[in-house]
Amino acid sequence: MKIYADNAATTKMSPAAVQVMIRCMEEDYGNPSSLYTIGQKAKETLELAREDVAAVINASPREIYFTSGGSEADNQALLTAAQIGKKKGKMHIISSAFEHHAILHTLQRLEKDGFEVTLLDVHEDGLVRPEELEAAIREDTCLVTIMYANNEIGTIQPIAEIGAICRAHQVLFHTDAVQAVGHLPIDVEAENIDMLSASGHKFHGPKGAGFLYVKKGIPVTNLIEGGAQERGKRAGTENVPAIAAMTEALKEAVANLEANTKRQLEIRNRLIEGILEIPHTALNGDAVKRLPGNANFCFEGIEGESLLLLLDDKGISASSGSACTSGSLDPSHVLLAIGRVHDVAHGSLRLSMDAATTDEEVEYLIQSVKEVVEYLRGFSPIWRDLMNGKKEFIL
């Protein structure tokens, strides 16, 4: 059996999105900046995509800037806010300790540039507390950037509350919604979001296409200088096939949101129930306030890497955390942020499921995880020490 259980890392493109991409490459291949018919056809496709994307988050088309993905959108949002802050002499930014590295590394760069960054604590349930955010806001705060849903443990932050606080204090609010767009209903107006990042490959669109929403009136800083594309804020010939395919995937995801969510919740809840039968195992993050497709566990006495390799032998593609940090021996900064100690954080498993997963696959997944954990514990020195009482169980 082959099971893809790593949809938070990336998703398979939907057949409809593939068709749109092929059609664009074969027919709408003109440069949208060209004046002749084929160019204008591509331009029309691009602008229709902008309208469709904007409608999904209740924005206006002029507030959407197409990018190469989530990382670029995150960088552009933060540099935009920093530029505005610098002009006003406001050099303080608030974020959280478990953001994606596209945010954390950009913040580190801004710190070198003289900004002061406050990283809010993430509690054991994987959530930031709005009251702690409010207490951290200062006269010189120019930006709050908090992710919509975490990419490792899937916890959904209280975005509307955070947005309301930022609006009341007149501080810009950006959210990295890469894991949320196409999976949760989002309304930038109702939630007082000033900037939002999204990425096509997380909702069955292609890699290399994403978008940044920036509320009207906020002057955008461009990362790439050159032509006047994207209203002069992102130079370079637009990737029309990928943008059109991303938009198709997004419309499909939103049209099926209710049904997909219902099915993902069934799958997720069964996975949690089945896998927590393994002794000394814990779910990471709140059991309810999490993405419908995300289940993330820590197993005591286990090395995450070996777990993944053995699951791969059984045909299961899963992850121990974010794809961007796998390969590094450091435990996940997200699991450390929610208070997991190093030993336990090393033994983590993220299963991120799409709605097409069958009941049979879910049972196979549970059975496989049980077998592999038991097998690995059989020769784990840490597990032996735990069993001999030389070490204390944490979970």
The interface region with ligand PLP, picked from 66-74, 123-131, 154-162, 342-350 by CB under 6 A, is: 66-74
Distance CA 80, CA 67 (A): 14
Tokens of 379: 């020769």
CB of 11 to ligand PLP, least distance (A): 11
For residue 106, give the amino acid letter: T
Contact residue for ligand PLP among 30, 32, 70, 321 (CB under 6 A): 70
CA distances from 119 to 64, 89, 172, 310, 337 (A): 28, 20, 16, 36, 10
Residue numbers 102-141 binding ligand PLP by CB under 6 A: 102
100: number of Cβ within 10 Å:
24
Is 352 a residue that touches ligand PLP (CB under 6 A)?
no
Which residues neighbour 155 within 8 Å (Cβ) at sequence distance 6 or greater? 125, 126, 127, 149, 285, 286, 289, 290
Q: Which of 24, 142, 298, 324 is catalytic?
A: 324
CB of 136 to ligand PLP, least distance (A): 21
Our separate counts of H helices and E strands in the chain read: 14, 12
CA distances from 342 to 21, 272, 330 (A): 44, 22, 9
- Distance of alpha carbon 11 from the chain centroid: 12
Q: Is residue 366 within 8 Å of 271, Cβ to Cβ?
A: yes
CB of 209 to ligand PLP, least distance (A): 8
Residue numbers 306-325 binding ligand PLP by CB under 6 A: 322, 324
Nearer to ligand PLP, 199 or 332 (CB): 199
Q: Which stretch of DSSP H or E encloses residue 33?
A: none
Q: Which stretch of DSSP H or E encloses residue 175?
A: strand 172-176
Is 96 a residue that touches ligand PLP (CB under 6 A)?
no
| 142 is annotated as an active-site residue | no
CB of 149 to ligand PLP, least distance (A): 8
Residue numbers 216-275 binding ligand PLP by CB under 6 A: none
The interface region with ligand PLP, picked from 173-181, 259-267, 273-281, 334-342 by CB under 6 A, is: 173-181
Contact residue for ligand PLP among 7, 45, 71, 95 (CB under 6 A): 71
Residue numbers 174-203 binding ligand PLP by CB under 6 A: 176, 178-179, 199
| Catalytic center residues | 324
| Chain residues in the site for ligand PLP (CB under 6 A) | 69-71, 74, 100, 102, 147, 151, 176, 178-179, 199, 210, 322, 324
